[in-house]
């Protein structure tokens, strides 16, 4: 995409009255912007996974407390993170396999929309199992996900007050 952008800008300004000078100036600016872009902070794969881990835990406690609005929020946060990984971590083998979570996330989402606690528990267990299957398939079997025992934050109430 950078190359396409560079070519487009070069062609646009190629017809200027002083093509050599203008082209060199634009190429210099493009090179400078490309260097800045390359140095821009991009979260690593681990940061994205840590985000999923937090939302996975919060999702569990929201569902256990029939807080369907919070559960809906949390499952969508996980979906967004999966999409972000697919967009910004394309060079990682793990990114190529993370789509395996989408059907299980859809299953959790369906349970939330139906406000069905039993269906939620089953789909959540499947989501957790799928996470571990993915970890094994990319040689991260040492990173085992489980159903959480304790809420991740002591300053959040997972009870439902307005379902």
For residues 72 and 9, membership in a common domain is answered with no
**Residue 142, domain member (yes or no):** no
The CATH number of whichever domain residue 77 belongs to comes to 1.20.120.290
| Residue with the larger pLDDT of the pair 40 and 107 | 107
Q: In the predicted model, is pLDDT for residue 69 greater than 60?
A: yes
Lowest mean pLDDT among 29-33, 83-87, 144-148: 29-33
For residues 51 and 96, membership in a common domain is answered with yes
Q: Counting beta carbons within 10 angstroms of the beta carbon of residue 133, is it exposed (0 to 12), middle (13 to 18) or buried (19 or more)? A: middle
Average pLDDT of the chain, as a whole number: 88
The vertex-146 CA angle with 161 and 105, nearest 5°, equals: 65
For residues 19 and 77, membership in a common domain is answered with no
pLDDT score recorded for residue 33:
84
Neighbours of 61 (CB within 10 A): 21
- Structural domain including 27 reads 2-38
For residues 32 and 73, membership in a common domain is answered with no
Q: How far apart are CA 45 and CA 60, in angstroms?
A: 23
For residues 30 and 61, membership in a common domain is answered with no
**Residue 146, domain member (yes or no):** no
Q: Tens digits of per-residue pLDDT, 127-142?
A: 999 999 999 999 999 9
For residues 25 and 77, membership in a common domain is answered with no
For residues 59 and 89, membership in a common domain is answered with yes
pLDDT score recorded for residue 14:
56
For residues 30 and 57, membership in a common domain is answered with no
Q: In the predicted model, is pLDDT for residue 38 greater than 70?
A: yes
The pLDDT-based confidence of 8 (bands split at 50, 70, 90) is: low
> 90-124 burial string, b = 16+ CB within 10 Å, else e?
eeeebbeebeebeebbebbbebbeeeeeebbeebb
Phi, psi of 29 (to 5 degrees): -65, -45
pLDDT score recorded for residue 23:
83
**Residue 119, domain member (yes or no):** yes
């Amino acid at each position: 995409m950078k190359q396409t952008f560079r070519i487009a800008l070069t062609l646009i300004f190629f017809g200027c009255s002083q093509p050599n000078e203008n082209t060199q100036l634009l190429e210099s600016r493009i090179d400078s912007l490309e260097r800045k872009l390359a140095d821009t902070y991009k979260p690593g794969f681990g940061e994205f996974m840590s985000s999923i881990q937090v939302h996975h835990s919060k999702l569990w406690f929201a569902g256990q407390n029939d807080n369907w609005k919070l559960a809906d929020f949390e499952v969508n946060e996980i979906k967004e993170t999966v999409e972000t990984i697919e967009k910004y971590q394309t060079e990682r083998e793990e990114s190529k396999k993370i789509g395996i979570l989408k059907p299980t996330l859809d299953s959790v989402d369906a349970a939330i929309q139906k406000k069905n606690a039993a269906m939620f528990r089953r789909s959540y267990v499947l989501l957790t199992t799928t996470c571990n299957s993915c970890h094994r398939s990319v040689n991260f079997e040492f990173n085992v996900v489980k159903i959480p025992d304790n809420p991740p934050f002591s300053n959040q109430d997972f009870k439902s007050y307005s379902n």
